[in-house]
Homo-oligomer: A and B are copies of this chain.
Amino acid sequence: MDKPATIKDVADLARVHAATASRALNPQTRDKVSPRTAARIVEAARTLGYSPNSAARSLRTRTSSVVGVVIPDLRNPVFPPIVRGVEDALREAGYLALLGNTDGDAERERDLLATMRGQQLAGFILATSKRDSLPFGPDVSVVLVNRRTDAGDVASVVADSRAGVHALVNLLVERGHSRIAHLAGPQDTSTGVERHRAFLDGLAAHDLAPVGVEVCAAFSEQAGFEATHKLLAAVRPTAIVAGNDMIALGCYGALAELGLRCPEDVSVTGFNDMPFVDKQRPALTTVRIPHYDIGYEAARLLLERIAAPASPPKRVVLPVELIVRGSVAGPAADRA
């Protein structure tokens, strides 16, 4: 690559002092430079590829170049690649990410958003998962990630959960299963609800009904473990579609405790393709979500909305990928 252009290069091309060029390219100080000079400097920066996207920033000078990114918990392995994707797209445009965790706690979220709003941010990316209404008026640029509000008119980026669950159900049916159960995610989350619905109508497309559905208290290993015990106390499925990978790992634990082998006695599927589920025994069949791309797209979408706040909010749905591994086999002969 060429040596990147410096502020001095931009200043030379625009025939101004470096300090003037710097003022013109900083939204906070641009009003100290005459509009014509500022325009010339911005043009020079664009020509040289110097911080190109800050040049695309509007001449309004009161906007911040910081975006609030609000997630439930960074320690949940789906979020690091999403946040990384967000940050990469923001950085390309000269923006920075202010990160906050809410633990899915409404009060913590309210408090965090209030503190962030005090920073007069350019916009927000929200990956918190509750289906309640949005804590913003229409004056704030917002993009939702992995979540939709029932309220409607908000830009969002999600993975195609529905297609993913259908692919899992189709795989199980093709392998000969008809006694299929679901360990659903919490039903106050949009992902939990969507996957549950997709499970039901995926089965219905094959003229099948679920042999059992147990709702998990959380998208966690412990909740999956407990729900599996409850499920298997009542029914004997030959295959279990878990609401996500964590729930599937809890299901593995409960099956082992009950002396049931996976996949010989029960096939199990997950959702997300978290790091290391390929290293489990058995390796987990799951659906790969393009987490990085979701974050990247969400940030691009937010930057679009910041540039054109009145534009209609897009809803982006990204494709998913079925990942078939050892946790799925045909049903055992004596159970089929």
Contacts and interface: CB of A to CB of B under 8 A. Distances in A.
B117 A51 contact: yes
| Copies of this protein, total | 2
Interface in A44-94: 49, 51-55, 64, 66, 69, 73-75, 77, 79-81, 83-84, 87-88, 91, 94
How large, as a class, is the contact surface on chain A?
35 or more
Interface stretch (A108-116, A235-243, A308-316): A108-116
Contacts of A98: 66, 96-99
B91 A83 contact: no
A37 interface: no
Interface in A231-262: 249
Given A96-B98, A96-B119, A84 B75 contact: yes
B275 A120 contact: no
B87 A51 contact: no
B81 A75 contact: yes
Contacts of A1: 137
A315 B87 CA distance: 30
Nearest to A253: B279
A101 interface: yes
**In this complex, which of A51, A79, A116, A280 has the most chain B Cβ atoms within 10 angstroms of its Cβ?**
A51
Given A99-B99, A118-B52, A119-B54, A73 B79 contact: no
Nearest to A57: B118
A163 to B, nearest CB: 25
Given A55-B64, A77-B275, A99 B83 contact: yes
Contacts of A36: none
Contacts of A84: 73-75, 101
Contacts of A73: 84
B79 A80 contact: yes
A26 interface: yes
Contacts of A97: 98-100
A51 B81 contact: no
Contacts of A77: 77, 80, 275
A96 B64 CA distance: 15
Contacts of A79: 80
B64 A87 contact: no
Interface string A190-224: 00000000000000000000000000000000000
14 contacts: A52-B118, A55-B119, A66-B98, A69-B99, A74-B83, A83-B99, A87-B101, A88-B101, A91-B112, A94-B115, A96-B116, A96-B119, A97-B98, A275-B275
**Which 5 pairs from chain A and chain B are nearest by CB?**
A276-B276, A51-B114, A51-B118, A74-B80, A99-B99
